[in-house]
Amino acid sequence: MTKLDAGAPGSAEQIAGLTFAMLVVSPDLKVHSLNPAAESLLGRSARRTVGKDMTEVLDFGEPHIAERMRLTEEQLIARGLPLKSNEKTVVVNLTISPLQTHPGWRVVTLSDAGQGERFGDEERRANLRGPAVLAHEIKNPLAAIRGAAQLVARKVDEKDRHLTTLIADEVDRIASLIDRMQRLGREKAEPVVPLNLHAAIHRALHTVKAASDHPFHVREEFDPSLPDVLANEGALVQVLINLISNARDACAGRQQPEVMIQTRFVSGLVMNVIRLGRPVKLPIEIQVSDNGPGIDPDYADHIFEPFVSSKPSGQGLGLALVQKLVRDMDGRISHERDDANGWTHFRIHLPMAKK
C-alpha cells in the first residue's frame, strides 16, 4: 500500500459520498443496497427498502417502464420520469446498467431532474442575457419619453393633463419591468451571510400584507430550532415576497383561502453547484403553499422560464427571477401540486451557515 492509498476512502465510502441516488439490484430484482442519497430521494430508509422488489420501490406510474426492467438486462436510460415516492412525485433521470462481472446484477442511478432545471448553466445564462441586453437598449429612450411628457404637461390645458400623466405612469411601469429583466441577466451573485430565516419570512410577510387590498389568512408552521441560513437578505426577502404574493393571488377565489409557510430541517439533500465545483448540502427547507386550484398543467413544466405565465396579465418574470436569486445563493427551488389534498407547494432549499 502506498502512502497515497493509506488515507483513501474505500468503495463503500465513495458510494456513500455520491450526490446522486444509487441502488444495487440482484438478479431477482430485489434491492440489495442503496446509498444515503437514494434514501433521501426515495424518502425511505435502507432498512425499509432492502429486500423489496425494485418495481415496488421505483413506482414510475407507467407499466411499460416496469416491464422493460423485468424483461431486459440491457442498459436503460430515461429522462424526466415522474417517480412516486412517499406520497410525493419527483421528476428524475433514470439509468439502469448491468454489471458485466456479475450476470443479472444491475446498478440503478437516479438524479432529481428538478422543476425548471432542465437547462445547463451556460445555456441558462445565455437565455437570460438576451433580455438583459434588450432591457438596456429600451431603457435609454424611455427616460427621454418621460422627460418629454413632463414638458408637454406644462403646456397643455388642465383637461388634457391626464394624458401626459398616463404616459409618465406607463413609462414608469415599463421601466420597472425592465429593471426586473436586467436583474435576470445579472451574472454576479450578491454576497451571502448568516441570516435568521424566520426574521426574513416575517419581513416578507409584513411587506405583502401591507400591499394587499384585502387581508388573507397565513398559517405558520416553523421549526424554531433551525440554525441560520447562508443567504443574501435582500434576495431572500424578494424571493419570499414573490412566492407569498403568488400564493395569496392563487387562492383568492377560494371560499376559505389559506396560505401556509413551513420551515424544517431535511437531511441528505445535496446539489452540485457548477460555479463552486463541489456539492453543497441544502438542509434548510422553506415551503410556501396555497389551497388554490394550482397552475395550469400546460405551464407547470415551464413556470421558471422567462416570459412564461399562466396569469392573464402576467409578465412571466417573477418565478424566473425567483429561481435566479435562489441559485445565486447556491440553493434550489421546486414546485409540486398535491391534487389529493388540494395544495400547491413551492419548496426552497438553502445551505446552512457554518457555526
pLDDT the model gives residue 270:
67
Task: Provide the pLDDT for residue 94.
Answer: 81
Residue 220: its pLDDT value, please? Answer: 95
In our burial notation (b when 16+ CB lie closer than 10 A, e otherwise), range 318-346 reads bbbbbbbbbbbbbbbbbbbeeeeeebbbb
Q: What pLDDT sits at residue 289?
A: 96
The per-residue pLDDT for 78 is: 73
Mean pLDDT of 24-41: 86
pTM: 0.57
Q: How far apart are CA 146 and CA 345, in angstroms?
A: 41
- What does CATH list as the number for 193-350? 3.30.565.10
Q: What is the mean pLDDT of the chain?
A: 78
- What is the reported pLDDT for 116? 41
**What confidence score (pLDDT) does residue 95 get?**
82
* CATH value of 3-112 in 3.40.50.2300, 3.40.190.10, 3.30.450.20, 2.30.40.10: 3.30.450.20
In one letter, which amino acid is 308?
Answer: V
Residues 6+ apart with CB under 8 A from 227: 284, 352, 353, 355
Q: What is the pLDDT of residues 332-354, one digit of tens each?
A: 999 899 988 999 999 999 999 98
Alpha carbon dihedral 315, 218, 328, 345, in 10-degree steps, equals: -80
pLDDT at 115: 42
**Percent of the chain, pLDDT > 90?**
19
Q: Beta partners for 76?
A: 96
Name the strand (E) or helix (H) holding 321.
helix 318-328
pLDDT of residue 262 exceeding 80, the answer is yes
pLDDT of residue 253: 82
Q: What is the predicted pLDDT for the residue at 120?
A: 46
Amino acid residing at 100: Q
Mean pLDDT in residue range 69-92: 71
Which residues, other chains included, contact 21 with Cβ-Cβ below 8 Å and sequence gap of 6+?
34, 35, 37, 38, 40, 41, 42, 109, 110, 111
Inter-CA distances, 141 with 47, 66, 68, 186, 218, Å = 65, 59, 60, 21, 43
* Higher pLDDT pick, 22 / 223: 223
Under a CB-based contact definition with an 8 Å cutoff, are residues 119 and 274 in contact? no
Distance CA 122, CA 115 (A): 18
Mean pLDDT of 2-13: 62
pLDDT at residue 236 tops 60: yes
Whether the per-residue pLDDT at 274 is higher than 60: the answer is no
More confident residue, 144 or 108: 108
Residue 325 near residue 275, CB atoms below 8 Å: no
pLDDT at 264 over 80: yes
pLDDT given for residue 7 in this prediction:
61
Least confident segment among 99-108, 180-189, 228-237:
180-189
